[in-house]
Structure 1
Amino acid sequence: MQQLGPGIVITGCGSATPTQVMTNQDLTHLVDTSDEWIRTRTGMEKRHLATADTSLSHLSAQAAAAAITKAGLTPTDIDLIILATSTPDDLFGSAAEVQHLLGASKAVAFDLTAACSGFIFALVTATQFIRTGVYQNVVVIGADILSRWVDWSDRNTCVLFGDGAGAVVCQATSDEDCFLSFEMYTDGQQHECLNLAYQGVAKPLTDDIIISQGTYQPITMNGREVYRFAVAKVPEVIKKALFKANLSTDAIDWLILHQANQRIMDAVAQRLNIPSQKVIANLQEYGNTSAASIPLALDEAVRSGKIKPGDVIASSGFGAGLTWGAAIFRWGINN
């Protein structure tokens, strides 16, 4: 992909998850399920759940602070904060609160909502601000507390979701450009496959004026359709991004997908002919953390020494909307 402005390098990562853990066995006390049923259909064994006094803003700030430190920066070096979330503490947005908690007083901050594609969409958005020369140091956060919006009596959805936050720092560079390409898509025709929908009731204000007031309802999902969508569209979008980067699948060192379901991840890797040892997976510990899943998996793999500077990473997010996207990048500064 032709470079039109400053180069971009991702220099820091961080993550934060609640300490409270729900196992598959715990779920058997809530719904008619079993550890074997959940593991064989999803690959999940545990999920970390936020306590009643845990805020999305605090989880996000913890992940961002770790990423900023790893990048060798301070909060006042940050120009822009993008928080990808579908579960803010405040419908007006939580990014400003994150900015305050970090002490990133010079940063512009805003929320971006694209469900489980949110981190990829936010990462691409951040890179465009850097490409234009407007900002140099950008924090991208993916964070969700979906436990707030799960129907804990629905065994098809309650076994899937966990809470967490992950973050990266993107910086402008005059050296090698490490953000190699991206692709993003939306298909609103399939909107009803995955929803966290508002439901209101009529409330008359006067004889002639009636409004709607209500709240959001628990997550609903057509799992079969989402699976079909993911295994068809994700390999395709990664191939398109690789083509833009003038790379083949052989050039990929690591594949980091949205951690939705192990079956989806296995099917995507198989269609791309990527061996399983190159696929980063941690959903057995955290479940599906929505926008947090990719940066959370990235951070763990970097800090464990699995991912090293210069490694080529292909990443893809997909989910409600329906939305999907991919980004190809080299990790860190290759000295």
Structure 2
Amino acid sequence: MVDPDRTVRVLSAGTALPGSPIDTEALAGRFGMDRLWQQWVDTFIGTRTRHLALDLATGEPRESLADLATAAAATALDRAGLSPDDVDLVVLGTATPDTLMPATVNVVADRLRIDGIPTFQLQSGCSGAVQTFDVAASLLAAGRHRTALVIGGDVIAKHYDVTADLGALPPGELVNYVLFGDGAGAAVLTTAPGHDDAPAVRTVLTRLSGLDREPGQVLRWYGLADRDSPQPPAGEDYKAIEELVPELAADVADEILDDLGWEREDVAYLLPPQLSVTMTDRIVKRLDFPLAEEISCVGETGNNGNALLFFQLERLLGAMDTPSRAVAVAIESSKWIRSGLALELNGST
């Protein structure tokens, strides 16, 4: 639990999406898929649109993770009424950095004119967004820093092959073309006094849960030595994800509630995992928060990985009333990380 003597508050959130929304019909047209395929996507995935950081017609990249993360971070700082000079710490979570070196977090910091402070980049799937909160809130609560910029995002379209024959792909590769999108988000956290009108971070949870479990998702990098590898750049075991994610999400919610002594009826807002619309619906039913308003975005943004939590937070911050409590849950299916956080807005520490 975060040290109650140094309350960490969420001042603001900002997000960025590349280009215009791309609906399933546009994807079907580009890849030559028929109406039955579109109906399959609508029924079993449910995602209506996604944003891609490439030109769907040519495959040419348009925006990088650094581009999107910089825009999201600038928005978050502006909404918090702060400048880059006010930031003491930057943490970025991503599964798809632009380069292995330099770290994308440092490219973003440079573009924002941030220097002379600690920066961290966490390599993780969807739970990386929560891990940024874990690292930042722990350092802020310890008194080492006062204001942190946390960022999450992914550009998965770099793995798209716009010439692919989707009809010939196995399900573990095909699903990546309809599930995912690109985007970035950021939030400003602070322990500075005078922000009782901002929600407090009550607890942050991250747990590796992959012992003896095969990865549910694999994303590969290739170098010169293995660039001709027959292994696909990305793949999913969607059946394992369907089975395990609801179970792990329920474990997260139970642990957060037990940690804080909250009851399910105490929670006014639920930010569930955002793999797809259909999976989110299933998870929300499993979590069973009877009075909570669901805060979801995946139907419009697609699954943009580490950006998702920030899109949810952006909506949450505009909706929270005093007093109210919110629980967020995120599950990474690569080697199975369960994570979540709890926020409370009550006008006092």
Partner of residue 326, structure 2: 313
Partner of residue 273, structure 2: 258
Q: Look up the equivalent residue of 2:100 and give its one-letter code.
A: L
Partner of residue 233, structure 2: 218
Deviates most, 183-192 or 94-103 = 183-192
Shift of the alpha carbon at 1:53? 3.0
| Structure 1 gap ranges (5+) | 204-211
Cα distance between partner residues in 2 of 1:277 and 1:49 = 31
Shift of the alpha carbon at 1:161? 0.3
Q: Report the TM-score when normalising by structure 2.
A: 0.85
Cα distance between partner residues in 1 of 2:110 and 2:223 = 33
Partner of residue 26, structure 1: 26
User: Would you say the 8 A contact 1:25–1:34 is kept in 2?
Assistant: no
Q: Look up the equivalent residue of 1:267 and give its one-letter code.
A: R
Partner of residue 329, structure 1: 343
Q: Look up the equivalent residue of 1:135 and give its one-letter code.
A: H
Q: Percent identity?
A: 23
1:203-214 equivalences under 5 Å are none
2:184 to 158, 165, 181: 165
Cα distance between partner residues in 2 of 1:12 and 1:229 = 32
User: Would you say the 8 A contact 1:77–1:106 is kept in 2?
Assistant: no
Report Cα offsets for 1:193-234 as digits up to 9, x if no partner. Answer: 210024568x6xxxxxxxx67789421000010111111110
Q: Secondary structure at the match of 1:139?
A: strand
Q: Look up the equivalent residue of 2:15 and give its one-letter code.
A: S
Q: Look up the equivalent residue of 1:300 and give its one-letter code.
A: R
Shift of the alpha carbon at 1:334? 6.7
1:92-241 equivalences under 5 Å are 92=101, 93-150=103-160, 153=166, 154-173=173-192, 178-188=200-210, 189-198=212-221, 217-241=232-256
Shift of the alpha carbon at 1:38? 1.2
Root mean square deviation, CA, Å = 2.6
Cα distance between partner residues in 2 of 1:309 and 1:70 = 20
Report Cα offsets for 1:263-300 as digits up to 9, x if no partner. Answer: 32222222232249711112111110000011012213
Q: Secondary structure at the match of 2:175?
A: helix
Aligned residues: 324
Partner of residue 57, structure 2: none
User: Would you say the 8 A contact 2:2–2:141 is kept in 1?
Assistant: no
Cα distance between partner residues in 1 of 2:290 and 2:38 = 27
User: Would you say the 8 A contact 1:242–1:249 is kept in 2?
Assistant: yes
User: Would you say the 8 A contact 1:9–1:332 is kept in 2?
Assistant: no
Q: Look up the equivalent residue of 2:133 and give its one-letter code.
A: L
Specify which structure has the higher proportion of strand.
Answer: 1
Partner of residue 43, structure 2: 40
Cα distance between partner residues in 2 of 1:129 and 1:102 = 22
Shift of the 241–232 alpha-carbon distance from structure 1 to 2, 3 Å rule, reads same
Cα distance between partner residues in 2 of 1:18 and 1:301 = 22
Cα distance between partner residues in 2 of 1:332 and 1:42 = 37
Partner of residue 298, structure 1: 313
Partner of residue 169, structure 2: none
